[in-house]
Chain A
Amino acid sequence: MGINIYMKKDIIRKAFIKSVPVMAGYVVLGIGFGILLRSAGYGALWAFAMSALIYAGSMQYVGVGLIAGGASVITTILTTIMVNARHLFYSISMIGRYKGAGRFKPYLIFALTDETYSLLCDGETPDEENADLYRFLVSFFNQCYWVTGSVLGGLLGAVIPFSTEGIEFSMTALFIASFTEQWLTRKDHIPAVTGFAGTLICLLVFGSENFLIPAMLLITLVLTILRKREEAAE
């Protein structure tokens, strides 16, 4: 199973290019997290530990509040489940893809963030034989950006030389680009519409604090009903 050094270099290069859209967002949001954590009294080492071990952006922002407020373990467990329940979704849809990933599998699962998911869920890879290495590298580069940003934020505090207002839109843009691409390459648009419209309805009904879990239930329900129909039609 020896792969030569040129092939390896090519895979590293392609994985890096794939990860670049995440770089700016992760570094800047990581810095924001590091600054917030530092202002709560926990420095760069804590930022490193959290970004290396938890590696879930919105949870870490929420986590600063939990730590600073001296939350109980039970509260922390429940909050983490609420904020991160969507990761169940990502994992379910990657079961097939990560099946034969061997030694890369544990890290691939550990590092499955929103952004990494959106880069890898289309299943595209430069070559099938080294797909696992490629996916591992994309996942790893992304975590490097996140950890680097967090530590920088923890070290520098609130000193950033230029206004980064609005740069967080790069994450939104990443999802919009991925949504558009999947829309154009897939024939069946019902899942995309279900996800988009179902979440929008739940946002309007439940408000911006509590809509995510109802949205996931609604999406699962609709897609399940559609499957029954498909089966009945066959």
Chain B
Amino acid sequence: MTVEMTDEENIWGSDNEASTGPQESLEVKKLQQIHSKRGYLDGISSAKEENLQAGFDDTFPLGAKYGFQIGEIVGKLRLFTTLYGNADPQVAADLKQAQDELRINRVLSARHFDEELQPLDSLKVLLSKWQARVLDYEGKYS
């Protein structure tokens, strides 16, 4: 025994000093594994559904805004198709393309949102494109 040894090592120490360290750390590691896993599982279930509602309320207005804007675009194109579709086949083609590009699963998609679900510029670009196209028709047929 040297003077540098702590009490802790004394208690757990065997006659063979060299084997004490690794053996103990293995024990501690095992202990950590068991208890942190138990804690982890309890921690997971402690959270239950906490935060779900907060997240929902947080982004609902944003989803509503996009839904409404997209509705306006598609609704107007649909009306133009009824009014001018016979003479102007491009209207129906645009409606079809808008239905495809502005479908919910294309809009609420990982490519338009970051990891925290903040919208990226690409979504603004997409919506602006369609809003401009609708405005063109409104001008053309006013």
The answer to whether A and B belong to the same complex is no
